[in-house]
Structure formats: structure tokens, C-alpha cells
Structure 1
Amino acid sequence: MTTTQHTAPTVDGTTAGTATYVYAVCRQLAPAGLSALPGLAEGFPVRALRCGTLTAVVQHVPAADFTQEAWEQRLSDRTELERCARAHHEVVVAAAAGGPTAPLALATLYRSDERAREALGQDAARFTAVLDRIAGHAEWGVKVSLPAGSPRPPADPPPDGARRDAPAAPGAGRAYLERKRGLHRAREHRHDQALRTAEDIDAALSRLATAARRLRTHGQELTGTAARRQILNAAYLLPHERAGDLAAEAAAWRARTGAEIELSGPWVPYSFVGEV
């Protein structure tokens, strides 16, 4: 998350010492649904800024509190980062309730409304294509995990490492190495099976979607469990009428593979606004 540009204090028409924070771009906006939201700066209303045929969802913020240095400090604090992300998302969701909405990255700032209007207007063709693409769609997240099932190493050490004074039984060393090779082959087999399962599930869900994105899978330190291993983390841009099909397909794959498949959504399509 990086500050786009234009964070120095400047006079913006009627408001001095502010910058213009941009949450999203859409076509139509009902300002009444946004005016009660605090956004990132209480005391300044969240509002619409017309940019040609498009509308930006913006808010004045104190420029001195939203410099590059201030953002770096704010985003290095986990609590503050979560607060900002939550406030940003709340505004985007409210805007999206009125129609297709392309959310912008956290910390997108300009020196003034005029600079925001100029910059966004230059990108109007891309925003228009994005809004056309996501109209009637929502983003769904899918996480798939399987039992970890990692085999343990042999409990018995190599024969010559247990008792130095006892002769190793004939063939014991070879048997130990064979067991280790067998465990290694079993791990590789399980790994290959997990990859095939992930690919098959992703392919099936992608057939329902307009677009799909594979995301980085989470390790056990993020999932919070050592009992299961995440094999797929993906986002799908799905027409609204296909949400039931997604749930049914996920249920079928759960029954077929024993995988744990977690669906989340519908979301504003954050993952699909930068691909056009």
C-alpha cells in the first residue's frame, strides 16, 4: 500500500490545508448514502467528485496528517492500519451498493480536487472498461485445504547410531534407508495429489466465473492450524446469478475429495479492477 502522489498541503477551491483522498470510481453515486460515514477524516464529508462521465468517491483530509511520512508511520502500526483499511472498505462498500464501483488502493491522495479530477480523467477509458466488466458481478474468495498428513521420520535411528557396542543386524541399514525412501516417496505422492486436487477445483470453479485469480496460499502460521494445509487460495469474479452454482460446485468437491473448501463473499471486486 503506497501513497500515490500529491500529499503536500494546498488550497483546494474552498478548503485550505487539505488533500483529496480518493476511495473509488463509479458511474452514479447517491451522496446521501455516504455523508454519514466518517471515512478517514472526521469532520470532512465523504462526497462525490464528478470526473467527466465518471464519479469519484472522495473526501478532504488534513494534508499535514496525510503526508508520505505520516502514512508510513500510520501503516507500520497494525492497529492503525486495520482502522484505515476498515474505514476505506466501509466507504467502498457503501458506494458499491449503488452500482459497479472500482475501488482504489488505500492511500490514494491528490493535492486537490482539481488534480484528482485531472489524473482520474486521464485514466477514464480504463475505469470505464473495468466498470463494464464488473457490472452484475461480485468477487468470491475460495480457500481449499487438506489434512496435513505429513509422515513422521522413522522412530528408530540408523542401526550403527543406537549402540556403538552392538553389531548391526544384517541388512538393518538397508532396511532403514528403504523406509526413509518410502516415506519420501509417500510425501511426494501426497504433494502431487494435493496439486492435482487444487488444479481440478480451480478449473471447475473458473468455468463458472468471468475471471479468476490465484493468490498466495497461507502457511500454517496464518491459518492457525497445523492439522490442515492450504492448497488453494483464489478469487473469482462471478455473475450474481451464479452464486448458487459456486456453492453447489464447492459442496460436490468437498464430497469428492474430502477437502475443506471455504467460500467468502460476495465482495466488491478488489482483485479484478487492475486487469483491464
Structure 2
Amino acid sequence: MTGHGLRYVYAVCRPFGAALQTQLTGVAGDPPRLLAHRDLIAVVSHVPEADFSEEALRAHLEDLDWLAGTARAHQQVIDALTAVTTPLPLRLATVFRDDSGVRVMMEEREAAFLRTLDRLDGRVEWGVKVYVEAEPERAAGPAEPAPKPASGRDYLRQRRRQTRADEDLWSRAEEFATRLHGTLSARADDARLHAPQNPSLSGAAGRNVLNAAYLVRRDVSEEFVEMVDRTKNDTPGIRVELTGPWAAYSFAGGDAGGGEARGGEAVGGTGTGEGT
């Protein structure tokens, strides 16, 4: 790709010695490269203006397939960086006109970037979700089908029994999630509670009662994972899911992001695409 494309910025990090994996490609198929400025490195690649100008990005935001492909390529680079250093990921589709624009951004935000990188150094993010299974009566194993109600009164009695069972499970799930969050928070350096996921959007089965992120030192991550694993079969009808290790998206604060116009250099930016 020629040097006339825009500069797509994935992350900012401190200089590191390890090589990124060979054959790594980023957004629009271009391999990422390192752009140094003082004590910081920006990880960038070239992207075509036809797709990443402000106007083009606005149109692409309506195209879920394009967004998903871009987010996958973006995350692939962040994952490769996380394997060798501690990156501070920027928002999906953070784009600048040229290398100079990227350096100006790093210069202006150098102190904040360095503070955040110091806080995140040697740490990764783990995501933990707790779900109440959609049909709790199945969680305990196959059961006899409920007898057909003989009357309206029987029907109401069955409904009340089921409602009480659902409420009991929901209450136990909330207690379980609160206890688990306290235990994991004590082992992590920091924690964030995110809003529960909407099952119709996430596609996950059951109701999400805990959606949390934990900032954990790499050297205690194995112990953290074991703590989560030990809880997975504690309570019938409740499911625990662990994801990670990720770059510390949830703990980057206001330092992650970009794309605001600075002297006309920045082109655009959307929200972060990860997931916890």
C-alpha cells in the first residue's frame, strides 16, 4: 500500500524488544508497524482514504459486516501486542492524516499515556460473567413434565410455584455473583462492573447478573483463573463464563481513544469494539 493512505492507530505502548508475530496483518490487510516518538510507540498501519475518511466512516457505521471485519482485524493486532507488551488500545477506527498527525497526538497526550501505561504495566484484563440459566428447572437435570392442570385453580397454583422457584434462583444468583465479585476483586488490582448484557444482543443464553472486568497482574493470572474455575459448578442453574486475557480496555480510562480533530490532523474515530 502506498504512503498516501491514512494512518490507522491501534494502540500506544512503551518501546519493547520482542518482535510481533510474522504475517500479522491489520485493518485493510496492511501489516502494522511501529512509529516511535520519545518514550512512546504508536502501532499504526495504512488504510485507504476511500474507506476511512470521516464521510466514508459515517456510511460504514451502518454496515455491520464491515464493522465486524474491522473490529476482528483491530483485535488481532491488539492480541498480538498483548502477547509481547502492555498496550493501551485506542478506539476502533482512530485515524490520522499522516505520521506527523500521529506524533502530534502522542506529544499532546504523552503525560497521560505514560501515567496509564505505568498503571497497566504487567497487567491484563479478565472478564467474568454470571448467568441465570433461562430454564432453571432443566439445570438440575431432566424432570418429569408438569401434569396438565385440571382447572384454572391448578394452573394458577403451578404458575405460582414456578414463579417462586424462579425468584429463589434469581436471589441465589445475585448473592452468588456479589460474593464472587468480592472474592475476585480482592485478588485483582482493580475491577469494573459493566451493565448486564442484553441477551437479545449478545446471543448468550440466560439472564446476565454479573458482567465484570478485573485488572490482574500476569504473574497471578493463573491463580485468578483457578479461583474462577473452582466456582463454576457451585450452584445449579447458574453459569460462570471467563474470558481473557485481554488488553486492559476497561481500565484505560479517558486515555484510550482518539480521533478528535486536532488542527485538522485527526480524521475520525468510533467507540471501542472489545469485549467484555
Task: Name the TM-score class by shorter chain.
Answer: 0.7 to 0.9
Residue number among 145, 148, 163 corresponding to 2:131 in the alignment: 145
Is it true that 1:128 corresponds to 2:96 in the alignment? no
Equivalenced residues, count: 243
Is 1:208 aligned to 2:198, yes or no? Answer: no
Q: Aligned ranges for residues 142-221 of structure 1 at < 5 Å?
A: 142-149=128-135, 155=149, 187-221=166-200
Is this contact kept in 1: 2:9–2:42, CA < 8 A?
A: yes
Q: How far did residue 181 of structure 1 move? A: 6.4
What's the secondary structure of 1:148's corresponding residue?
coil
Q: 1:185 to 1:41 in 2, by over 3 A?
A: closer
Question: Which of 1 and 2 has greater Rg?
Answer: 1
- In structure 1, the residue matched to 2:101 is 115
Give, in angstroms, the shift of residue 50 of structure 1: 1.6
8 A contact 1:22–1:59 mirrored in 2: yes
Q: Specify which of 4, 9, 32 is matched with residue 22 of structure 1.
A: 9
Higher RCO (CA-CA < 8 Å; seq separation 6+): 2
- Give the aligned partner of residue 77 of structure 2: 91
Provide Cα deviations, 1:37-96, integer angstroms capped at 9, x if missing partner. Answer: 332234x55221122211111122222331122123333222222211111112222233
What one-letter code is carried by the residue in structure 2 that aligns with 1:41? A
Shift of 1:112: 1.9
Counterpart for residue 166 of structure 1: none
Asked if structure 2 preserves the Cα contact closer than 8 Å seen for 1:31 and 1:48, the reply is no
- Structure 2 residue aligned with 1:261, among 240, 255, 266? 240
Letter in 2 for 1:71: L
Q: What stretches of structure 2 of length at least 5 have no aligned partner?
A: 138-145, 256-276
CA contact (8 A) 1:34 1:95 kept: no
| Shift in Å, 1:180 | 6.6
Partner residue, 2:207? 229
Native 8 Å contact 2:132 2:170 kept in 1: no
Specify whether residues 72 and 35 from structure 1 end up closer, same or farther in structure 2 by C-alpha distance, changes over 3 A only: farther
* SS of residue in 2 equivalent to 1:76: coil
SS of alignment partner, residue 97 of structure 1: helix
Distance in structure 1 (CA, Å) of the matches to 2:49 and 2:254: 31
- Whole-Å separation in 2 of the counterparts to 1:66 and 1:275: 23
Q: Report the TM-score when normalising by structure 2.
A: 0.74
Q: % of aligned pairs identical?
A: 36
Conservation of the 8 A alpha-carbon contact between 1:35 and 1:47: no
Contact 1:29 1:95 in 2 (8 A): no
Q: Which runs of 5+ in 1 are unaligned?
A: 1-13, 160-174
Whether the 8 Å contact between 1:34 and 1:47 is mirrored in structure 2 is no
Check whether the contact 1:29–1:48 (CA below 8 A) recurs between aligned residues.
no
Instruction: State how far apart, in whole Å, the 1-side matches of 2:3 and 2:97 are.
Output: 11
* 1:62 has 2:41 as partner: no
| Mapped partners of 2:33, 2:230: distance in 1 | 45
Alpha-carbon distance in structure 2 between the residues aligned to 1:184 and 1:260: 20
Give how far 1:124 is off: 1.2
**Superposition RMSD in Å:** 3.1
